[in-house]
Amino acid sequence: MSQSIINAGEEKMSKTIESFKKELQTVKTGRANPAILNKVEVVYYGTPTPLNQIAAISAADAQVLVIKPYDKNILRDIEKAILVANLNLTPQNDGSVIRIVFPPLTEQTRKQLVKEVKANCEHFKVAIRNVRREMIEQLKKLEKDGLITEDELKRRSDEVQKMTDKYVAKVDDLMKEKEAQLMEI
């Protein structure tokens, strides 16, 4: 029974890491990365639709993204959605495709992005610690109900702490990797 609590907690922590990875992909690093547009939704026939479902998005080179809609009638809607998404990107519509040019990041912009990534990192660390707290509470309840011994509670609590430390370290590693990417010129 206590093992199922550990397994469920580890799965939640693992999902938190995956969410953090997806979040980091949306941070622009001065290079064209289609993942930056993952959160952009275009109103298509009255329904908000993810951009990647109504257009092909590719990196023409390191500094340019090309968005080729499957339906050319929605070019203006895509352009508007990118502007509304507040990504600090300027789409250029040439009538058949939309190009987004990524200007090189300034030193100040790089530092600001690193600050944002670190703040985001803390958010995910807190999420992992919350999972730890829930697991410990569930284990204490099992001990209180007499389903596990005090020794097993101590052993499982130590196991939970080691797991938490491992996942927090993964978040730190991902953050350092992204910071190095951002500061790279």
100-124: string of b/e by CB count within 10 Å (b at 16+)? bebeebeeeebeebbeebeebbeeb
What is the SS3 assignment for 97? coil
Domain boundary among the residues 84, 101, 118 is at: 101
Same domain? For 168 and 123 the reply is yes
Which residue, 22, 4, 14, is CA-closest to 128? 14
pTM: 0.72
Same domain? For 137 and 90 the reply is no
Same domain? For 179 and 112 the reply is yes
- What's the CA gap between 161 and 136, in Å, rounded? 9
List, in sequence order, every beta strand (DSSP E) within the chain: 41-44, 47-50, 55-61, 64-69, 91-93, 98-101
Same domain? For 8 and 63 the reply is no
Beta pairing class for 91-93 and 64-69: unpaired
CATH number of the domain within which 122 lies:
1.10.132.20
- Over the chain (185 residues), what is each successive 10-residue block's mean pLDDT? 88 94 79 82 89 89 88 90 85 90 81 88 95 94 90 92 95 92 77
Which residue, 169, 119, 135, is CA-closest to 17? 169
Same domain? For 144 and 90 the reply is no
Same domain? For 118 and 143 the reply is yes
Same domain? For 113 and 144 the reply is yes
The reported pLDDT for the residue numbered 17 is 93
Backbone angles phi, psi at 93, to 5 degrees: -95, 120
Indicate the number of domains in the chain.
2
The reported pLDDT for the residue numbered 185 is 63
Other CB atoms within 10 A of residue 54 CB: 19
Instruction: Locate 171 and state its tokens.
Output: 């978040």
Same domain? For 62 and 151 the reply is no
Other CB atoms within 10 A of residue 98 CB: 22
Range of the domain at 81: 34-101
